[in-house]
């Protein structure tokens, strides 16, 4: 059952907030307002609240936020049809943005600001969506059990030397589907099929839990290396809990494929709805997200990598080191995701 949360960020009083919330809830055709924006977001980070409040302070435009699971929000937009009040759809992972693109709910945006601020490889070629933050999917290793000199590429994780040593979440997870899709794009179907079978044979345990669970298990010695997004480890490093800090201290970060295509990078991004009643406000919001202030917030608020060149990253991320990233357009990750799922299934990676 879908879970949706409604919140409103504005520089006005409670009565105005109640009126705005009522308007979002009514199942009637949305009426365009120049002073508000209806955001459907699958990002579930409380730190984003200040990001939206900053947009309101800068523009005077209220942000009416509806949070939920990405698939549930997509289904909601489709069910609402022409009467949808949604202006912007925001989610994590290019694979989910691709699903929205394929469902036909997004409208192309042409903006010199967005095109100047956001590199080509992290935005849709036709402007259907734009990436606003990046996350690298890396190899994390137990410092007591792995010599980083033995690490090299994602492909090398299929080597028998890693038998019983790898921790990773299930292939039903969108992060892994996009990661497999990137390997598929780089190496082709036959090689990726072979890699996936050998990779799955090296698991320390059947996949379970989220990225944090893989890191915790590796630190506890249940396996030696974990596949995870960088911000999960950074969160542990920022914790005031000594136990979580100890996990952070136990784990090292290795960026694979530095002598080749680079480390796999995915995005968090957003697009303007085809039926957006507040299109001008929606475009202004996307442009704001690509700007210096918002980009600094992405970098500091959730330990993500900014897309705007020259934006400083959080010191915890900086401690992981610099790296070369895979430069393929992330739209490919969604386009090849169905193939990626089939390959994982045939490999026995559930």
Residue ranges of the domains in the chain? 4-133+267-312, 135-263+321-346
Residues with Cβ within 8 Å of residue 278, at least 6 apart in sequence: 32, 33, 34, 36, 37, 38, 87
Q: What are phi and psi of 7, to 5 degrees?
A: -140, 155
Tell me how far apart the alpha carbons of residues 207 and 42 are, in angstroms, rounded to a whole number: 24
Kindly state the DSSP code that residue 87 receives in the 8-state scheme: -
- 120 to 100, 126, 216: CA distances (angstroms): 19, 10, 35
Question: What is the mean pLDDT of the segment spanning 54-68?
Answer: 95
Query: What pLDDT, in 10s, does the model give residues 93-117?
Result: 999 999 999 999 999 999 999 999 9
- 126 to 3, 108, 110, 340: CA distances (angstroms): 31, 6, 8, 24
Question: What is the mean pLDDT of the segment spanning 286-297?
Answer: 95
The pLDDT, as a whole number, for residue 183 is 98
Q: Which residues of 241-254 are buried (b: 16+ CB within 10 A; e: fewer)?
A: eeebeebbebbbbb
Same fold across 4-133+267-312 and 135-263+321-346: yes
Q: What is the token pair recorded at 204?
A: 């320390």
Residue among 134, 135, 138, 136 at smallest CA distance from 123 = 134
Question: What is the mean pLDDT of the segment spanning 278-301?
Answer: 94
CATH number of 135-263+321-346: 3.40.190.10
Range 4-133+267-312 has CATH code 3.40.50.920: no
Tell me how far apart the alpha carbons of residues 96 and 90 are, in angstroms, rounded to a whole number: 9
Query: What pLDDT, in 10s, does the model give residues 115-143?
Result: 999 999 999 999 999 999 999 999 999 99
Tell me how far apart the alpha carbons of residues 85 and 100 are, in angstroms, rounded to a whole number: 16
Answer whether residue 33 shows pLDDT above 70. Answer: no
The pLDDT, as a whole number, for residue 18 is 33
Q: What is the token pair recorded at 175?
A: 């992060």
Q: What is the token pair recorded at 227?
A: 């596949």
| Ranges 23-32, 47-56, 274-283, 296-305, most confident | 274-283
**Angle (deg, nearest 10), helices 337-346 and 174-187:** 100
């Amino acid at each position: 059952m879908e879970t949706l949360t409604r919140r409103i960020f504005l520089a006005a009083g409670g009565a105005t907030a109640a009126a705005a919330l009522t308007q979002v809830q009514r199942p009637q055709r949305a009426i365009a307002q120049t002073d508000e924006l209806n955001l459907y977001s699958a990002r579930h980070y409380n730190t984003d609240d200040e990001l939206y409040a900053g947009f309101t302070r800068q523009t005077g435009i209220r942000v009416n936020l509806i949070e939920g699971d990405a698939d549930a929000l997509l289904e909601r937009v489709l069910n609402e049809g022409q009467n949808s009040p949604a202006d912007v759809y925001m989610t994590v992972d290019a694979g989910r943005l691709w699903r929205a693109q394929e469902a036909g709910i997004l409208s192309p945006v042409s903006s010199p600001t967005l095109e100047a601020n956001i590199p080509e490889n992290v935005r849709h070629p036709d402007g259907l969506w734009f990436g606003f933050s990046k996350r690298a999917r890396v190899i994390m290793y137990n410092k007591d059990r792995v010599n980083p000199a033995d690490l090299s590429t994602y492909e090398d994780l299929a080597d028998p030397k890693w038998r019983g040593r790898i921790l990773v979440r299930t292939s039903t997870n969108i992060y892994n589907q996009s990661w497999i899709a990137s390997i598929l794009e780089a190496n082709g179907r036959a090689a990726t099929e072979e890699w996936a079978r050998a990779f799955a044979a090296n698991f320390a345990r059947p996949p379970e839990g989220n990225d944090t669970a893989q890191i915790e298990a590796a630190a506890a010695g249940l396996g030696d290396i974990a596949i995870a997004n960088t911000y999960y480890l950074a969160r542990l490093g920022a914790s005031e809990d000594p136990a979580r800090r100890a996990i952070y201290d136990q784990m090292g970060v290795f960026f694979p494929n530095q002598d080749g295509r680079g480390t796999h990078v995915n995005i968090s991004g957003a697009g303007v709805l085809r039926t957006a009643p507040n299109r001008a406000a929606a475009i202004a919001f996307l442009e704001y997200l690509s700007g210096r202030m918002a980009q600094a917030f992405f970098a500091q608020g959730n330990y993500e990598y900014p897309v705007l060149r020259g934006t400083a990253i959080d010191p915890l991320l900086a401690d992981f080191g610099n790296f070369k990233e895979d430069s393929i357009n992330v739209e490919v990750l969604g386009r090849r995701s169905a193939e990626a799922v089939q390959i994982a299934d045939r490999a026995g990676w559930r």
